[in-house]
Amino acid sequence: MNKIFFITISKICILCIIAICSEAYSQNNKLFWDGIDWNRVEKLADYNIKTEFIIKKSYLEGALDGRLFGYLRTWEEDKKIADIVFSETVDYLTIRELIKNIDYFYNDPLNNYIPLPSAIIIANMYAKRLDITNVESYVKLTREWINKLTLNLDTLNYTKLLEEKMMKYYESSPNQSE
């Protein structure tokens, strides 16, 4: 009973820490957790290895469960598309091995901006010992993609976007005065 209570309180505390941190950094145009967030967990956990492991494990299990949910929802509609879109294997490693490999991957500062979902795929590619040129090519393409996406988000004129949406809406809606 006491152990269950402690685990429940620990999970609530971890969720509160994540919520506070996400609120503090919510001003950024950020789509994914990346290496900066991943490396920040150690400090958030007050350098407690067990707490750090629980936070990282929780994030990875949530990401993998979400991916499975997306696959199953897509599979209901079209099995071929689901198999093509979700073809990368991301469950080759145990959670503990995956955390260790992602920690190693994010030790390289050049990888810090690569989103965590991509890091999961890359960690599994390295673990499967795929051709290193293919893995490095994937890493390079991922860096280019996230840099371009971030640049587009940072230079996006939200006012212009809203005006365009409003004009499109008024053009498509029937005139009420007719």
pLDDT tens profile 10-27 = 656 565 566 555 554 544
Does the pLDDT of residue 137 top 70, yes or no? yes
Mean pLDDT score of the chain: 81
- Residue 35 has a pLDDT of 93
Give the structural domain span for 47: 2-153
pLDDT of 173 reads 64
Instruction: Answer whether 0.75 is exceeded by the pTM.
Output: no
- Mean local confidence (pLDDT), 163-174: 73
**What tokens were used for 8?**
């429940």
How confident is the model at residue 109, as a pLDDT? 93
Closest CA to 78 of 88, 86, 90: 86
Q: Is residue 33 part of a domain?
A: yes
- Whether residue 172 is contained in a domain is answered as no
Residue 134 to residue 40: CA distance in whole angstroms: 29
Inside any domain, residue 167: no
| DSSP conformation letters of 142-163 | HHHHHHHHHHHHHH--HHHHHH
Is 134 a member of any domain? yes
End-to-end CA distance of the chain: 70
> Does 126 score more than 60 pLDDT?
yes
User: For the chain, what is the domain count?
Assistant: 1
Q: Examine residue 64 and state whether it is found in any structural domain, yes or no.
A: yes
Instruction: Render pLDDT for 40-87 as a digit per residue (tens, 0 to 9).
Output: 999 999 999 999 999 999 989 888 888 888 878 888 888 888 788 777
Per the domain annotation, does 67 fall within a domain? yes
Does a structural domain hold residue 158?
no
Residue 98 has pLDDT above 50, yes or no: yes
Residue 169 lies in a domain: no
